[in-house]
Amino acid sequence: MNADSTAPLPAEKTDFMVFPLALLRINKIMHFEIYLWNPKQQEHVLFCGKNLKFTDEVKDRLLDNGVSEIHVRDSEQHAFSHYVEDNLTAILDDPAVKPEQKADLLYLSLTGVIEDVMMDPRAGNVVPRSKRIVENTCKFIYEQRNALEFMMRVCSFDYYTYTHSVNVFVFAMALGARVFPKEEVMDDYGMGALLHDVGKSRIPDEILNCKGRLTDEQFVIMKKHPEYGFEILQEKDGISPLALDMVLHHHERIQGGGYPDNLSGDQICREVRCLTIADIFDALTTRRSYKEQMNSFHALKLMRDEMADHIDPDLFRIFVQLISDPGARK
């Protein structure tokens, strides 16, 4: 890398994401450009082009010049999130990266994984990529104090299929961490939560991104997504029966009347019940084109008062404690 190859950015409007310098790994190639902020000129300056290796020497020089942040163009988010995903274990283990920065980077790479999965759920790397990021999330949640608090703070409030999947995964992992022993189910359970809506990849965009409420006909199609998800994942190696159960049954209701199998009570396992709570909570607390976002307090109140037939009351009580005090450990 030529650290002197700085050039002012062309005048057109460009948005940037800001990240800690500490996340960059030594001797790893970066498939994105890095900019620095020049406070004197109030402008971004190109520091290094794509496909270059970050070295100890360059890092030291930046640190000597008081640089602690790098800027990456929004348009390169995909390449950047791949880089973070590929180096996630090392980044999460690095004490130089602050916990809140780790949560931010973890959320970014989770979103990148889900975007790719939704785009091409049949790709051969869906299971290994998902497994790796679930393991990294588990490790972060169990080893980092206040990890869930940091993760919940970075959850997006705007609803997109992929941010919904990531948010639900975060809430489900948070609840799961209080309910299940880590070794038993966290990996399979995490896979089920992360991929729970993968069947939406087969739902037409005009229904998925519908600006208003769905018509009855559209809703019939939308309700097929758990079965589609089951079909997609069933064909893959390395997906456990538990994860498949979670994908297929996350819209069942504790007192019956859900879909696709109209299960109730003990027919719905606890992992699925946890996922259902996380799924409903995220749907209520995110903003859609046809509805404002509800705050956590009102969402929990509505779930308690009007959706008691949907959800397990004991698990819901734990979820309420969790949302009220995400920093507390089980």
Beta carbon nearer to Fe ion, 150 or 171: 171
Closer residue to Fe ion, CB minimum distance, 49 or 260: 260
- Nearest distance from C-beta of residue 161 to Fe ion, angstroms: 8
- Closest CB to Fe ion among residues 146, 156: 156
Give dist(CA 327, CA 330) in Å, integer.
10
Q: Tell me if 142 sits within 8 A of 159, measured CB to CB.
A: no
Token reading at 44: 């971004």
State the minimum distance, in angstroms, from the CB of residue 311 to Fe ion: 14
- Single-letter code of the amino acid located at 197: D
Quick one: tokens of 198?
């993968």
| CB closer to Fe ion, 81 vs 167 | 167
Q: For residues 54 and 169, which CB has a smaller minimum distance to Fe ion in the complex?
A: 169
- Cβ neighbours of residue 185 under 8 Å, at least 6 residues apart? 176, 242, 271
Minimal distance, residue 107 CB to Fe ion, in Å: 17
What is the spatial distance between Cα 328 and Cα 108, in angstroms, rounded to a whole number?
24
Shortest reach from residue 43's CB to Fe ion, in Å: 42
CB of 192 to Fe ion, least distance (A): 12
Instruction: Measure the CA dihedral 148/275/110/182, to 10°.
Output: 60
| Residue 144 or 293 with smaller CB distance to Fe ion | 293
Euclidean distance between the first and the last CA atom of the chain, given in angstroms as a whole number = 47
Which residues contact Fe ion (rule: CB under 5 A)?
197, 279
Q: Which amino acid is at 74?
A: D
CB of 73 to Fe ion, least distance (A): 31
Minimum Å gap between C-beta 207 and Fe ion is 13
115 vs 197, beta carbon nearer Fe ion: 197
Nearer Cβ to Fe ion (20/190): 190
Q: How far is the CB of 275 from Fe ion (least distance, A)?
A: 8
Cβ-based nearer residue to Fe ion, 116 or 197: 197
Question: Contacts from 115-122 at CB under 8 Å and sequence distance 24+?
Answer: 115/78, 115/162, 117/195, 117/198, 117/201, 118/161, 118/162, 118/165, 118/198, 118/200, 118/201, 119/201, 121/198, 121/201, 121/232, 122/232
CB of 128 to Fe ion, least distance (A): 23
